[in-house]
Chains A and B, each alone.
Chain A
Amino acid sequence: EPEVTQTPSHQVTQMGQEVILRCVPISNHLYFYWYRQILGQKVEFLVSFYNNEISEKSEIFDDQFSVERPDGSNFTLKIRSTKLEDSAMYFCASSYMAGGTEAFFGQGTRLTVV
């Protein structure tokens, strides 16, 4: 079965450093998403991406965050200057159709900011 792959599985970084989280969505999918989940809390939507541009973003997705699909296969989330409160599990997802229809999620990257 096709799957969404995220790397790394764990990332520890110092406060103020830049991090890039990487995702390889399912190959024929057109819609891409990033979510995060702070330990013990809800899964929160960050951003959706379609046709090489952001289609929707949440209030969490401020100027510290950016997304890119650099080469037609990878989908990245960059956090420019990490803060302690950015520590969370970050999930990438992709879908062939828009909205909630059968979105496939990766296993996540656990980001720890120290």
Chain B
Amino acid sequence: DAKTTQPPSMDCAEGRAANLPCNHSTISGNEYVYWYRQIHSQGPQYIIHGLKNNETNEMASLIITEDRKSSTLILPHATLRDTAVYYCIALTSGNTPLVFGKGTRLSVIA
């Protein structure tokens, strides 16, 4: 599975959009981009995933560049409860399990 690179930490003002980048320059054609988050030692929580089209759900939007070498997770109106570590994972569908890196620690500030 492709290696992903994320900034170690980011801050975001409450109510503003949080844009979390992820580089996956070695991603292969059949690898999806998954985003999970972990709020203070709770179990990781699935957010969204995509292959090449942009995706949106009730939690977030995922923007994947045309060359698929990078992506951005967007939380449109960050709240204090969005403070968490966010993980970007490139993974083929199939029985390969999730492998978590260090992620980005997002701090939402009032």
Which residues of A does B touch, CB under 8 Å? 4, 31, 33, 35, 37, 42-45, 48, 50, 55-56, 89, 91, 93, 97-108
Contacts and interface: CB of A to CB of B under 8 A. Distances in A.
Contact of B91 (A100, A107, A108): A100
B82 to A, nearest CB: 17
Size category, B interface:
20 to 34
Interface of B: 32, 34, 36, 38, 41-46, 49, 89, 91-102
Contact of B93 (A4, A55, A99, A105): A99
A98 B38 CA distance: 21
A45 B89 CA distance: 13
B100 A93 contact: no
Contacts, number: 71
A4 B46 CA distance: 13
A105 B95 contact: no
- The main secondary structure of chain B at its interface with chain A is loop
- 3 tightest CB-CB pairs across the interface, nearest first? A105-B43, A43-B100, A98-B95
Given A91-B43, A106-B43, A100 B32 contact: yes
A42 B94 CA distance: 23
A99 B96 contact: yes
